[in-house]
Structures are given as structure tokens and as C-alpha cells.
Chain A
């Protein structure tokens, strides 16, 4: 892929993500309307000066609700991927450096987690832990573990045979030191791109869970929840379905593009070396 195109896609992704982030930041200082005030007179208002994106079935301002939803999306996305990544990286690194049975057990365990269709694992955990924000975070974090441990596993195996690791080993550096001081910095770029790409899918799962009524709970707002709440009115008031979906897609697309472009640039740099 051409450098220029990579750069363009990265910029587009960054732009989209920045739009959402600024939406989130602004929401702490200014909201067009109170997102939780219900007003039956204002039900199902079409977009107007007062309500830029219209109002929902309770007369709440859709734009304001979308703005505060971005807080949940970004928070859940970042935190759950971070937690999942930390655990996943530790497992992957452990499996790659341990030998024999521990390696097998860890990797089979990861394979086992991988066999759960994404949202099923999250649903199962929510069934156990109960509905709610933090439980959704934990559920998504667990879902993220296998991706990171597999990636770390293969990257560490790759690096293990490199000259500099052999050198470090020959002057007696400890396993831990080799991993944290030598290998981790080398594979970090790849892990960071995975991090970025995973945020997109984490937000997607969060919204799916909320849509199914298993994630963020009312009266709080989440894009998935908004869509779920407006479902029964959608045939009459189709405009209800548009804004939350669009902003959700923009967010996911943004993180994915950043991750992809980043990854491509790492790969092409590797090839050039």
C-alpha cells in the first residue's frame, strides 16, 4: 500500500476518533439539553433548532443523549481493552517462554476462550455477574484476552530466536529481564496497533450488549441502549434509528482505521528492512 494512502487513512481514522473524543469532552462542560429530563409534550419532536437531532419517546434530547453516551463507549472501550490486553499479554508471554505442559495448557485454554463467539462469552458472564456497566467491562475484557495472548505468544516466539535475545541470554540475563527489558519494547508497536483495533470491536460489543439490555442500564444512555429503546417506535419515527447508529459506526471505523494503517506501516517498514 502506498505511503500516501496509509497516511490518508490514518488521518481519517484519527479525525473520526477526535470527533468522538471532543464530543465526549464537551459533554462534561456543555450539553444542549438535560439528557435525562423527560417531557411528554416534547415526545418525538423532529429535528429543530431547540432539539438538533429531535427527541425520543420520552421527550429527551437525542443529541445530548448521544453526547453523554460517548463517555460510556470510550470508557468501556478503553478500560476493557486495557484490562484484557494486560492479562492477555501476560498469558501469551508466559506461554511463549514456559516450555512443555504449561505452554500447552495455557494455549489450549486460550483456544477454548477463542471458541466462544464474542458476544456469547460476554452474555454468559453477564448472566453470572448481573447486568451493568462494570460487569460489561469485565465481560468484554475477558473476551479480549485470547486475541492479545495469541499475538503476544507468536511475537515473543519470533523474537526469542533473534540474535539480541540470544546475546542477552548468553551473558546471563534472567527470563523476566529478557522479556520486559528486551522483548517487550520490540513488540510493543504491534501490540499498540492491536490495542487500537480492539477498541473498535470492544465498543461494538458494548453497544450490542446494551442493545440486548445486558450492558449499560437505563436511565443512563448508551448508543446501543438508545437504539434498543427506540426500537418499537422505529417504524413510525425512523429518524430515531439514524444518529446513534451513525456515531457508533464513526467511532468503530475511526479506531479500526487507525489500527489498520498503523499495522500496515509497521509491516511495510519490516519488509523494507
Chain B
């Protein structure tokens, strides 16, 4: 049996006023897997994953369930230990529509923080690693990028920086929350190839959240389908695509031919 990197068991989340946002979500990721979570916006994909990474906003409450990360039970850890575990063990790549990079700090000073704090307090080493990783994610002039502010980079570049930053601590698992949403199709493809390559050649597990079924079909080995705060279906990707059981999944799949147009409309 391979190592379990992340496991949620029957996690429920409440908005603090008694309304359930997530109901009994269970989810497991093993080492080396490329997993997809699909569902429309508002279905609770992001919230589920954020609960696993202890990133929920303060007003939301986890009412029940067990969350395990890298073999450790999250509820049993002090907040400091949780920070350490997540910071060092997991990389997070956000939607590139959000201002994830601090707009007023040069890239290099943002990239090295996690490394300095979790791995080795050696600035030179950290900068070298940052530069290497930028090259690895396909940036040709890492020096220039390191000395730039986020605004000086294009959206695609910023997303590469985000990915490189997520890799700074050599995590076993990367969680990517709709990482290609607002990118054009060429860059989208490049970014996905990058994730794929990390997964294939380095064995990094990827948890990929998306509403783009085509991408999920192409890259993910297993997938979860979320609908209105519940995981309605899960299993091998090709299995689900050939033989969807839940009516929502069936509806989703029937939309595939027009999906490209749809996503263009949404973000165009």
C-alpha cells in the first residue's frame, strides 16, 4: 500500500450560522497520484481542499470529521505545528486571478521565505534554489524574474512563479486550485504539462481542482465530482467518463462538447 498523503473522512463544514456548506466529504490521495476534483463554482471544491490545509476563513466551522495530512491528525496538532507541517510538506498553487503574490515585494523575497523558515536558513542557497526552480518551470531569465515585482510579469509568468514557489520546500503534494482559469489556452497547456511532468518524473502528487472536464480527463488518474457541498461520485477517471452513475455527473458530461465555449464566455 502506498503512503496516504491526505485524507478527509466525513468532513462537514458550517457557515457559523447553522447552514451546512460541506456535507460528509471524504477524500484520499496516495503518493504519486494525480487527482482531480470537479464541480461547478459554489459546489464546495475549494472549501473542501482549504479545510484539509487548515486555510478556512475564521467564521467557518468544521462541525465533524477527521482530517489527516502526511500521516498526522490535524486536530491533534498545535497551530504552530500545523503551520510547519503544511508549510514544509505541501505546496499550494492558487487561481491566478487572485493576488497571491504580494504586489509590493520583489519575487525573490517572497520565494525564499518558506525555504528559509522550514529547510535551511541560508539565503544564498535559497536564492539559488529559487532560480533553479524558475528555470525548471520554464522561465528563461530567472534573474530578471527574481528581481521583478509581480506587476511586471504576465499572468502566465506569475502562475509559473506560483508553481515554483510551491516547490521551494520539495513538497510531496501540490494542491492546485483552478490554476489555469484565466490563462489563454497555450499557456494553460504549458502549465498543465508542467504539473504532469512533476507528477511523472518526480513523483509529486497533485490534487487538481477544476471545472474543466477536458483537462481532468486528460491528466487525472482518479477524480471526485462535487455537487452542492457533497461528493456525489468518485473513482477512476476513465471509468467515470465511460459510465457515470450520478445524474449530475451525467449532466456534466453531456455538456462537454460546448464546454470550451462556456469557459470562454465565463472568463473572456
Q: Do chains A and B touch in the complex (CB under 8 A)?
A: no
Q: Which residues on A are within 8 Å of B, measured CB to CB?
A: none
